[in-house]
């Protein structure tokens, strides 16, 4: 039901945006687009997916292999289209538990950590870009401050300090019923995952560096799309793309469609026409849709593993 409501909200927002922008300007933007830049942007999906799969093996320190890790990444992308709040990624915990002997709680913690590293890397590049391009602009500096605060919080949560478990334990005592019990339990799970992660400092350095590389690549992909539609400075694109991606994480739409598009039209207005920005919004959605479609044949991997665990 929640997914259906999100899809409806996304469709309404998209309809409003496209109605305001005017279909003729969108057609004109498509006609004037440089196909080579757009193709280059779409092509980066392949190396970004492969490097993300490589990092998953690096993080888990399992003999999972690049091909198997890629199947997991793509299959999770498919599940994220139908499950709320990126819960498809948690399916990777099933594979870690069933195939590689991970404790179930640790497996969940590791997968959540992977997503947290992604967010921290995005925020890192976003803060730098916002400070560079937004100096003197009140709204962009406020965005930089908010983004920076989120980054600091994530760094603290990912650090070997016991702040996260204490915070979650406190939240668990305050929150009612099942939510409170879940928060208290996850605090222990998270601390277990953090302790396991920091037990190998070389792994921490390598995974952090690769995470920064991955999200630098994602922001560069946005720039390739933008270059095909107009001329957007690279650092400005990094700042705007970060904010657009964050807008897409708001929980009341499907896969960020609608909120991300509105943010793109607003933020890229100094460099792109409304029609070109609307096209950029569609291309931004393709960044998620193409891996999800590619992962459809691999969704069965998760179903087979779940059946095995139930039979065990």
In which band, very low, low, confident or very high, does the pLDDT at 144 lie, cut at 50, 70 and 90?
very high
Bigger pLDDT: 94 vs 286: 286
Check: CB of residue 190 under 8 Å from CB of residue 107.
Answer: no
| pLDDT at residue number 90 | 75
Q: Is the pLDDT of residue 306 over 60?
A: no
Q: Is residue 236 part of a domain?
A: yes
Q: At what angle do helices 274-294 and 201-229 cross, to 10 degrees?
A: 130
What 216-222 contacts at long range (C-beta under 8 Å, 24+ apart), as own/partner pairs, is: 216/121, 216/125, 217/44, 217/47, 217/48, 217/51, 218/48, 218/122, 218/245, 218/287, 219/122, 219/125, 219/129, 220/44, 221/41, 221/44, 221/45, 221/48, 221/287, 222/41, 222/280, 222/284
Of the pLDDT bands very low, low, confident and very high (cuts 50, 70, 90), residue 172 is: confident
19 found inside a domain: no
pLDDT at 238: 98
Q: pLDDT by residue (tens digit) across 4-60?
A: 666 666 666 666 666 667 778 888 988 999 999 999 999 999 999 999 999 998 998
- Band of residue 133 on the pLDDT scale cut at 50, 70, 90: very high
Residue 291 is predicted with a pLDDT of: 92
- Banded model confidence at residue 183, pLDDT cuts 50, 70, 90: confident
Q: How many domains does the chain have?
A: 1
For residue range 61-96, what is the model confidence (pLDDT) as tens digits?
877 888 888 988 898 888 877 665 566 677 788 878
Among residues 246, 233, 244, the alpha carbon closest in space to that of 272 is found at 233
Other beta carbons within 10 Å of 63 = 9
In a domain, 264, yes or no: yes
The Cα–Cα gap between 222 and 245 comes to 10
Q: Quote the CA–CA distance of 187 and 97 in Å, as a whole number.
A: 19
pTM exceeding 0.75: yes
Evaluate whether 126 touches 238 at the Cβ level (below 8 Å).
yes
Tokens of 287: 């960044």
Quote the pLDDT of residue 3: 57
pLDDT at 300: 65
Does residue 45 fall inside a structural domain?
A: yes
| pLDDT given at position 94 | 80
With respect to residue 58, please indicate whether it lies within any of the assigned structural domains. yes
DSSP secondary-structure letter at 197? Answer: H
Note the pLDDT of residue 85: 55
Task: Assign 160 a pLDDT band (cuts: 50, 70, 90).
Answer: confident
Q: Give residue 1's pLDDT band: very low, low, confident or very high (50, 70, 90).
A: low
The residues, any chain, with a CB within 8 Å of residue 68's CB and separated by 6 or more, are none
Of 230, 227, 235, 224, the closest CA to residue 270 belongs to 230
Torsion angle, alpha carbons of 265, 269, 271, 275, to 10: 50
Residues 6+ apart with CB under 8 A from 197: 59, 110, 113, 158, 203, 204
**What's the pLDDT at 189?**
81
Instruction: List, for residues 227-266, the tens digit of each pLDDT value.
Output: 999 999 999 999 999 999 999 887 776 767 778 988 999 9
Q: How far is CA 98 from the centre of its chain?
A: 25
**pLDDT band of 303, cuts 50, 70, 90:** low
- The pLDDT score that the predictor gives to residue 251 is 72
188-215 pLDDT per residue, tens:
788 888 888 999 999 999 999 999 999 9
Domain span at residue 291 reads: 2-14+24-311
In a domain? residue 77: yes
Position with higher pLDDT, 132 vs 18: 132
Half-sphere exposure of 106 (CA within 13 A, CB side): 13
Q: List Cα–Cα distances, 99 to 68, 94, 95, 194, in angstroms.
A: 11, 8, 6, 22
The two structure tokens encoding residue 289: 């849709």
Percent of all residues in the chain with a pLDDT value above 70, rounded to a whole number: 86
Q: Residue 267 domain-assigned?
A: yes
């Amino acid at each position: 039901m929640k997914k259906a409501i999100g899809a409806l909200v996304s469709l309404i927002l998209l309809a409003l945006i496209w109605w305001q922008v005017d279909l003729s300007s969108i057609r004109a933007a498509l006609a004037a687009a440089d196909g080579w830049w757009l193709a280059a942007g779409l092509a980066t999906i392949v190396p970004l997916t492969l490097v993300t799969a490589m990092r998953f093996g690096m993080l888990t320190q399992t003999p999972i292999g690049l091909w198997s890790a890629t199947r997991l990444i793509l299959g999770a992308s498919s599940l994220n289209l139908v499950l709320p709040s990126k819960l498809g990624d948690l399916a990777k915990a099933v594979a870690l538990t069933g195939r590689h002997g991970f404790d179930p709680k640790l497996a969940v913690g590791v997968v959540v950590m992977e997503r947290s590293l992604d967010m921290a890397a995005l925020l890192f590049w976003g803060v730098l870009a916002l400070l560079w391009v937004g100096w003197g602009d009140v709204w962009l500096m406020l965005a930089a401050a908010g983004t920076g605060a989120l980054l600091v919080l994530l760094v603290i949560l990912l650090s070997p300090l016991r702040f996260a478990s204490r915070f979650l334990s406190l939240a668990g005592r305050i929150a009612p019923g099942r939510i409170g019990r879940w928060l208290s339990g996850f605090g222990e799970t998270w601390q277990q995952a953090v302790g396991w992660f920091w037990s190998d400092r070389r792994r921490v350095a390598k995974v952090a560096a690769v995470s920064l590389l991955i999200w630098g690549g994602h922001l560069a992909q946005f720039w390739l799309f933008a270059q095909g539609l107009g001329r957007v400075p690279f650092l400005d694109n990094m700042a705007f793309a970060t904010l657009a991606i964050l807008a897409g994480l708001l929980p009341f739409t499907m896969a960020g469609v609608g909120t991300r598009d509105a943010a793109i039209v607003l933020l890229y207005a100094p460099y792109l026409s409304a029609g070109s920005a609307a096209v950029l919004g569609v291309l931004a959605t393709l960044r998620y849709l193409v891996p999800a479609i590619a992962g459809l044949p691999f969704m069965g991997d998760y179903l087979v593993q779940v059946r095995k665990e139930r039979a065990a």
